[in-house]
Amino acid sequence: MKTVEWRDGKVRFLDQTRLPLEEIQRETDDYRVLGEAIRNLQIRGAPAIGVAAGYGVLLAVKALPSPSVSTVRLACSEAIAFLSATRPTAVNLFRALDRMAAVAGGYAGSDPRDLWSLLHREAMEIAEEDRQACLRIGEHGASLLKPGSVVLTHCNAGALATAGQGTALGVIATAARQGKIERVYVDETRPLLQGARLTAWELMKQNIPVVLMTDSSAGIAMQQGRIHAVIVGADRIARNGDAANKVGTYPLALMADRHGIPFYVAAPVSTVDTETATGADIPIEERDGSEVTHIAGQRIAPEGVDVYAPAFDVTPNELISAIVTERGIARAPVSETLMEVLRRGAPADGSRG
């Protein structure tokens, strides 16, 4: 399953707003359409957004009728400005756009074809690095789990959210192949039901036993001893290890702490924003209130009610047992170990990770 890919000069992506009822692949050669697909959650998940952003810059350049180096740079700038305004919290988006901007700005030659080749290579590297990172995250994270583990996850941090097998779900998939997973409890993840629509769908496709429950059922599941570990992804991790993830993650961490259950965050190092000191500095996207007042286009709340609709919340580092990256595991206290893991450098295979 490929969530987003570059194919024959266009971007092809799986429309996640139609899952699980329909599996619809869409194509576009317009970076503006791609940007709206990111904004409207047809493409979602921090790593996948970053990959799509790199492809979006390529679309802008490819659309030029008679490119020169200067017009290529201008097209890159315009696309980057547009794409950077789509989702404010996922730092992978900005990482990818910064990389594409650096290639365009750093080119010293005069042949636009050479510049195109460099941009194309960079976008493909962003995607391939994510695929490889997911595999390594899976291996590292699976080492934290014992045979017979029952885990809880929130939202969707699987293949649908990345260019590979996923981060949190990548850990689960790897552990399942190792015979360690008994079952996975999945929060429905209100208001957009990414757990019910996407994660349950992914796990069932992989024949991993899954139990779906309402978000508010997590507490009693922990209280009854049903959960051995919580594994989630992240859209941005601050330098001190505070982690922003889909709203509803913070209460899970609080409940896990109360019941002595390890709480793990799985994310590539590109999700760690070393320029953001703490979680208090992470911008939290607020979504349209209709996402709360409606389900599948059907109103479920009174007309005119005020709505508070943050898309993310921040889990403080002291509630995180470990942050799993492709470079290794930052164990608690993650405020002290995360930067050490990042300083280990790129993996031995040469990818930047």
Cβ neighbour number for residue 30 with a 10 Å cutoff: 14
Our answer to whether residue 235 is catalytic in this structure is: yes
8 Å CB contact between 87 and 49: yes
Amino acid at 102: A
| Residue listed under structure tokens 């180096």 | 69
d(CA 59, CA 164): 22
Which of 196, 189, 201, 159 has the alpha carbon at shortest distance from 291?
189
Cβ neighbour number for residue 276 with a 10 Å cutoff: 19
187, 235, 242, 313: the catalytic one is 235
Element (DSSP H or E) covering residue 28: strand 25-28
8 is written with which tokens?
A: 């024959």
134 is written with which tokens?
A: 């997911």
123 is written with which tokens?
A: 């976008």
102 is written with which tokens?
A: 């650096």
261 is written with which tokens?
A: 């259950």
8 Å CB contact between 76 and 269: no
**Residues with catalytic annotation?**
235
